[in-house]
Amino acid sequence: MALVMPQGVMARQSPEDVQGVVGTIAAQQLPNEAQQTLDRIESGGPFPYEKDGSRFGNYEHSLPQQPRGYYREYTVKNSDSRNRGAKRIVCGGDQRAANDCYYTEDHYNSFKRITK
């Protein structure tokens, strides 16, 4: 049985319904560098990389479906200063609230929802 939604209305997905979200991680359990990135997000910066705060398209549908522009991505600083590495935090909605955030260690292949 297919679910038909009126045009312009999206069905709500919980993070558990999305293939790319594999559990949760408490903010206090994040690696130190990721905790620092989350703190920067909540305080509005400054961010060490030019691309921090740019739109995350969610093209692979790894995160719950949201309107375009909902998600923003931030680099979790690594020891190799020559590249950004694979670790990111992606947050949706009000960025400074950091209430809808996800952590990836493998460059968007899988995510854990960050809980506070």
Catalytic site residue from 16, 60, 61, 107: 107
Greater model confidence, 94 or 2: 94
The CATH superfamily label for domain 32-115 reads Microbial ribonucleases (3.10.450.30)
Q: What is the mean pLDDT of residues 102-112?
A: 95
Residue 18 has pLDDT above 80, yes or no: no
d(CA 109, CA 60): 9
d(CA 73, CA 57): 9
In Å, how far from its chain's centre is CA 27? 13
61 is catalytic: no
73 is catalytic: yes
Region of poorest pLDDT, from 9-13, 16-20, 92-96: 9-13
Q: What is the mean pLDDT of the chain?
A: 85
d(CA 30, CA 103): 8
